Homo-oligomer: A and B are copies of this chain.
Amino acid sequence: MALTVVGSIAFDAVKTPFGERERMLGGAAVHFSLAASFFTEVRPVGPVGDDFGEEQFELLRSRGIITEDIERVPGGQSFFWRGHYDFDLNVAHTDDTQLGVFGEFEPKLSDAAKAADTLFLANIQPDLQRQVRAQCAAGFSGLDSMNLWIDIAKDSLLAAIAEVDCLVVNDAEIRMLTGEVNLAKAARAVMEMGPRAVVAKRGEYGAALFTESGDDHSFFALPGFPLEDVRDPTGAGDSFAGGFFGYLDGSDGDLDEANLRRAMGYGTVLASFNVEEFGTERVSRLEREEIDERFEALRRMTQFEGLPASRD
C-alpha cells in the first residue's frame, strides 16, 4: 500500500512557555509524513526553496519517506511560519506567514504519487486540494482545512469536501462550516455532503469519529493522551492525521469500524509524541515499539467493564 500527502513543507519559528526554536523543519505534510512513516510508504508532494537542503531531505529519508515528489524551486524560498503559544497551549498565535514557493504552486503528481491507495489533502487552499484530488483516484482520501478557508473560499472548500471520504478538522471548524452548533448534527451535515467519516479534532480533549452507520456505533471518541510535559503543540493535528491515515493505509485499506477506531488510537498516540518536544524532534527519533506501548496504554486508560451483573 502507498500513501500520498499534499501540503506545506516548511520552516517554522516557534516560541512556547517551554522554549523556542528560530528555524526548524515543519509544515503539515512533514508532520503528517513522519507520523505515517511508521506504518506505510509515504510520498509528500509540495514545493520547497533553495533553503531546503540535504539535512532536511535526509531527515525525511531516514524515516523511509519517499522525497521524489518534493519539488525544489530554484531561487525560491520555502514556506515559513512564525508563531507563539501562551500558557493555553490550545491556541496558536500566528506572527508571520510567508508563502514563498507555495504562492506559485501548481501541483503535478508523478505517476507513482497518482497511483497511491490513500490520499491526504493537508490544509492548503481548497482549489489546490481539488487539483490534487483530480489527479489521484486513491480508494480512500482525507482532507484537513482551517477557519481561513471557511471565511474566504467556502464554496471551493465545500466542493473539495464533497470529493473525499473523510474530513479531519477541529470541532469548531465543523460547526463553522455547517452553521450547526450541535456537533453530532454538524457531523451528520458534513456526511450529507459526501464524506462517509468525520474526525473532529478537539485539542487536549482528544478526537471524535463520526461514521455513517447511524446507530450507536456511529460515534467513537478518545481523550488526548495525558502528558505532564507538553512543549510545542505545533503539528499535533497533522501528526494525528498521519497516524490515522498511515495506519489505515498500512493495514491494507481495512476500513471497518474496528480498524477505524484503532486508527484513531494511533493518531492519538502520534499526536502525543509530537507535542512532547519542539517541531519534529521527538517523532523523528521515535521507535515503532514506543508507539505500540503507548497505544496499549491508551487502551488501558479508556476501557471499562460492563454492568456488575456480568462480572461474576
Contacts and interface: CB of A to CB of B under 8 A. Distances in A.
Given A205-B205, A217-B300, A226 B183 contact: yes
**Which range holds the interface residue count of chain A?**
35 or more
Given A185-B228, A208-B223, A308 B262 contact: yes
Copies in the complex: 2
B296 A307 contact: yes
Contacts of A265: 304
A301 B182 contact: no
B228 A302 contact: no
A306 interface: yes
Nearest to A297: B216
A182 B251 contact: no
Interface string A287-312: 00000100111011111111110010
B221 A181 contact: no
A219 interface: yes
A307 B308 CA distance: 27
A39 to B, nearest CB: 11
Across chains A and B, which 5 residue pairs bring their CB atoms closest together, nearest first? Answer: A221-B223, A261-B304, A205-B205, A216-B297, A219-B226
18 contacts: A182-B229, A183-B204, A184-B226, A184-B227, A208-B226, A217-B301, A219-B226, A220-B301, A220-B304, A221-B223, A221-B301, A258-B311, A259-B308, A261-B303, A261-B304, A262-B308, A265-B304, A299-B306
Interface of A: 87-89, 181-185, 188, 202, 204-206, 208, 216-217, 219-223, 226-230, 251, 258-259, 261-262, 264-265, 292, 295-297, 299-308, 311
Given A183-B226, A216-B300, A259-B308, 5 more contacts: A182-B227, A206-B223, A221-B226, A222-B223, A302-B304
